[in-house]
Amino acid sequence: MKLIVGLGNPGTKYARNRHNIGFMAVDRIATDHGFPAWKSKHNGAVSEGRFGSDRAVLLKPETYMNKSGDSVGAAMRFYKLDPEDVIVLHDEIDLAPGKVRWKIGGGHAGHNGLRSIHAHIGPDYARVRLGVGHPGHKDAVPGFVLRDFPKADDGWLDDVLRGCSDGAPHLAQGDGPKFMNAVALRVAPPRSGTGNDSRAKSKPTQSVPEPEADNRSALQKLMDRFS
């Protein structure tokens, strides 16, 4: 079983913040895969369900971002899971908007939610890094991530959320590469053609010479046959 965690801040005023893209992703997963209604448990909102035969728990910590580890740690202990069974979806300012990356272990890079989780369960959990872009200066980061996504971002944001939902069964299996493939099919679907002229790939048609007309008489044909 996997614990799939989306990071964000509770409350409607934060709902469309860049910092809440993790919440948005697990909400989409729950809706698309028919998970039951969210229940208040483990200092967060929890929904337990299945992807086929694979059981999973979705978690949205309601402790505010900088105490996310309180909720994640409590849920992990309750379900008797190891850090390797935890997958955290979170905003990533070091990735361009619409970019998604899978990672296992490593540092928290100053992300307050990850910092808190590190303190409670260590660094050996998986992360889905959801790119939201960077404001250009580190001093502008707090205000940037706590502002709503602009309407202009709705297109790529919807693709990313749908891609995470498409790949959720692979998250439940711990298969990061297959999850990333599912996301890529939404975010950057293959083109219907290569853009090259297909005629350039085909061999040139060779002309077949027309047979010459036979103007011989019947007698000449007979003589030629026995000559």
Residue 25 zone, left/alpha/beta (φ > 0; ψ -120 to 50; rest): alpha
**Longest pairwise C-alpha distance within the chain:** 109
The Cα 40–Cα 166 span in angstroms is 26
Q: How far apart are CA 47 and CA 30, in angstroms?
A: 8
Question: In the numeric block, which tokens belong to residue 111?
Answer: 């992300």
**100 neighbors 182 (Cβ within 8 angstroms):** no
Token duo for residue 142: 């707090």
Burial class (CB in 10 A: 0-12, 13-18, 19+), 126: buried
- Residue from 68, 66, 6 nearest 42 by CA: 68
- Let me know if 19 is a catalytic residue: yes
Rounded CA separation 208/210 (Å): 6
Catalytic residues: 19
